[in-house]
Amino acid sequence: MKIAFRHLIQCGLAILCLSCAAATAQTNTQTAPKSTPAPSSSAALVCDPMALGAKADGKTKDTVAIQKAIDTCAAEGGGTVKLAAGTFLSAPLELKSHIHLEVDKGAMLLASPDVADFPDMRVLRENARKPFLYALNVEDIVISGGGVIDGNGAGWYKMAREHIDNESGAHRRPRLLIVDHCKDLTIDNMTFQNGASWQIVPYFCTNVTVTNTKVTAPADSPTTDGIDPFSCHHVRISHVWIDVGDDDVAVKSGLPGSHGVDDEPSTDVVVEDSTFLHGHGFSIGSETAGGMTDIHVRNIEMKGTKNGIRIKSGRDRGNAHIGDMTFDNIKMEDVIYPILISMYYPSELTIPDNDSAQPITIMTPKFYNMTFNNITISGGKIAGILAALPESPVTTITFSNVKISGSQKGFSIYNAIVPMHNVIIQPNSGPGILLKDRAKVINN
């Protein structure tokens, strides 16, 4: 009873004493889901928001009870905050080190629809709203259980559409989950849906795993990116199913005009064995000022996305280290713009003819060592675009075993020498490859 009494003093509620005592008695039998590495203390303590007053009725805000459960587990060195069943309506919550947020199948953690619950704060080095779930300078976080985390985004989407050119001040939208300067994040067997803006954002993080997870939002919802690793190292995204309104996965680093001084690169990122439906496909950038290397995308199926593989930067946001990337075994069907590789963001589709070379600066992007292997594409408006700047031409982007058929137009290349092996491009009209400014294809 000493352990239970201590929890009673901390929590101020006798009912928690019974919950924690029962969890302590089960220390040797509590286990995490098979595919999820549990935090170091998750088996020792289970903190139940229902025991702290949560209603899980979808109407009453359970913010205080859930946050108290998180804080109680964290104070004991870590543990599992368990949402077993029902709809837990909540304002923003802050995650702590060694917390396993277990949202079981049949449970939903639902964001409050009230704008006032999301105050302004400085996050991602910009003025923004407080995200629904936020973690700062912590380690060892697991989110799993088979349940749903819902951003309740309908009202935010309406506001965004009405103020699409002025998303500042009162018109800012919160992200769904931001894990900021953290290490050891695992998301497994979850559904994240209807985020007001970007949905899963690891920011300056190390050791990130997202697996067996769905990320969804309406196809017309603005800037509802699925997963955006931003200046992260050692990221594994696998067996995800993403259907959103913007980038399905976007790897980012740095801010436009930042010169890379305060930026970390994104390195060692693997995205594999996944399906993308609505959205803008897999993106590199457009924020690339920190650089990004060792990126590998494989075994991906895309159906009906706007873009397929999109590597985007510009003269105001580049870096000399954007390379060492592989794209392998990727199938695209009815993707409007299957391959877009461009240093002209945001004007990838309107490349100026005979653009003049400009002085090279610290922000001039340089693309190198990118390989595209075993790519099959059917449909689309164009087969693709590869557009380098005249001051930063490309010579080490290669294509092999690529077949593109049924697009309306062919593949345009600017300022690049491109090795190709066993590449077949069959548009509905015109040539398969359109060589523009200072472009050449080497067939081997």
Please tell me the distance from the alpha carbon of residue 246 to that of residue 58, in angstroms, as a whole number. 28
Sole residue written with tokens 């137009």: 409
Residue 43 has pLDDT above 90, yes or no: no
Average per-residue pLDDT in the chain? 90
Most confident region among 40-44, 234-238, 320-324, 358-362 by mean pLDDT:
234-238
pLDDT tens by residue, 236-280:
999 999 999 999 999 999 887 776 666 789 999 999 999 999 999
Structure tokens at 258: 């930042």
CA 429 to chain centre: 36
pLDDT at 260: 60
Q: Indicate the DSSP class of residue 70.
A: H
Helical pair 2-11 and 63-75, crossing angle rounded to 10 deg? 140
Q: Are 183 and 204 in contact (CB under 8 A)?
A: no
- pTM recorded for the entire structure: 0.89
Region of poorest pLDDT, from 19-23, 34-38, 374-378 = 19-23
Q: What are phi and psi of 6, to 5 degrees?
A: -65, -40
Contact 103, 190 (CB under 8 A): yes
- Number of other residues whose CB lies within 10 A of the CB of residue 191: 17
Measured distance CA(38)–CA(36) in Å, rounded:
6
User: Quick one: pLDDT at residue 320?
Assistant: 86
Contact assessment for residue 269 and residue 296, using Cβ atoms and an 8 Å cutoff: yes
pLDDT at position 13 over 50: no
Place of tokens 């949560």: 54
What is the tens place of the pLDDT at every residue in 136-188?
999 999 999 999 999 999 999 999 888 876 677 778 999 999 999 999 999 99
Backbone angles phi, psi at 211, to 5 degrees: -145, 155
Residue 9 has a pLDDT of 33
